[in-house]
Amino acid sequence: MNEKENPQVKPNIEKIIEELPILLVSQAYKKLTSGEDLTASEMKVCLDVCKTYSSENIVEKAKNILEDLPYDTDG
C-alpha cells in the first residue's frame, strides 16, 4: 500500500515518531524505578534510552554521576 491509496499512513507515522521517545523513556523509567532486580543488560538499555532521549542538561548530569561509580576493572 502506498500513500496515494492510504493518505493516513504518513500522519500516523509522524505521530508515532513524535510519541515514541516519550513512550520509551516512560517505560525505561518505570523499569528502573520498579524495584525489580534487573540484569546488567536491562539496566544498560534503560539508561541508554533515558540518556538518548533526554535533554542535554540531564545527559551531562548523568555523565558526571557515572564517572564516580566504582566499576569492577578486574574482569
Is 30 among the domain residues?
yes
Residue 40 has pLDDT above 80, yes or no: yes
Model's pTM, two decimal places? Answer: 0.55
Is 4 contained in some domain? no
In a domain, 73, yes or no: no
Backbone CA torsion sign across 73, 68, 37, 59: negative
Contacts for 43-46: CB closer than 8 Å, 24+ residues apart = none
pLDDT of residue 71: 64
Residue 3 lies in a domain: no
Q: Is it the case that residue 63 has pLDDT exceeding 90?
A: no
C-alpha cell at 61: 548530569
Segments forming the whole domain that contains residue 34: 9-67
Domain count, the chain: 1
* Residue closest to 25 by CA, chosen among 52, 57, 56, 50: 50
